[in-house]
Amino acid sequence: MSQALWPEFSERVSVADELRVAVTARDVDADAASLARLAERNVAAMASIAALEERRPEPEDDGPVMQELARLDAKLNALVELVGRALQPVGSLPPRRAVRFNSLGIVVPSDLLPAGHDLCVRLHPDVCPSLLLELPASLERSFDDGRAFLAFLPLGEAHADALERLVFRTHRRKIAETRQSLT
């Protein structure tokens, strides 16, 4: 990836928040099949996050009964995913750290970084910390203020779309919370 990704990252909508995040070294020898499985797990986790955050069904072409069934199906899938991961104690989660992220990458404190450029960002969303997003990344840029920009590796169109929707929903929710606190 080129250093040109930083300006594009800076221009896109991003979320700045304190999240449970860890950065680990990534297996650079991972084959395409294991990366595809990782992308599928991330897309499923992001769908679960969306279902858990959802307050009401989005209007679609289907009737209200089909919308409700789709919403219940998504929540049931999220529940199954959560049961599989819920045994992870909250005490084993990484601490909250100030980050800024969007679908292209993430800015993290440099002290989170292990040695090397091939990394994996592990995000635990607030809606369900036992869910995990594992985002392969590479170190693109270090800043003098103790932060670093990690560019996410592309894992396919479905993964990129799901990540973009997650960022958009989170950003929209943060704006709504800010507006609500001002009134």
| CA distance between the termini of the chain | 44
Q: What are phi and psi of 53, to 5 degrees?
A: -80, -20
Contact predicate 36/134, CB 8 Å: no
Secondary structure, 3-state, 57-74 = CCCCCCCHHHHHHHHHHH
With cut-offs at 50, 70 and 90, classify the pLDDT of residue 29. confident
- Number of C-beta neighbours around residue 81 at 10 A: 21
Distances (CA, A) of 27 to 58, 72, 122: 39, 37, 14
> 59-62 long-range contacts, Cβ below 8 Å, gap at least 24?
none
Query: What is the pLDDT, as a whole number, of residue 82?
Result: 66
- The label of the residue with tokens 């996410």 reads 152
| 79-132: pLDDT as tens digits | 766 665 665 565 678 999 999 999 999 999 999 999 888 999 999 888 777 778
Query: What is the pLDDT, as a whole number, of residue 162?
Result: 93
Residue type, 127: V
Query: What is the pLDDT, as a whole number, of residue 178?
Result: 81
Give the largest Cα separation in the chain, rounded: 55
| 61-71: pLDDT as tens digits | 567 888 888 77
Could you give the percent of the chain with pLDDT greater than 90?
A: 43
Whether 1 shows a pLDDT value over 50: the answer reads no
Distances (CA, A) of 125 to 5, 23, 45: 25, 15, 10
* Residue 131 exposed, middle or buried by CB count within 10 Å (0-12, 13-18, 19+): buried
Query: What is the pLDDT, as a whole number, of residue 84?
Result: 55
What value does the mean pLDDT of the chain take? 84
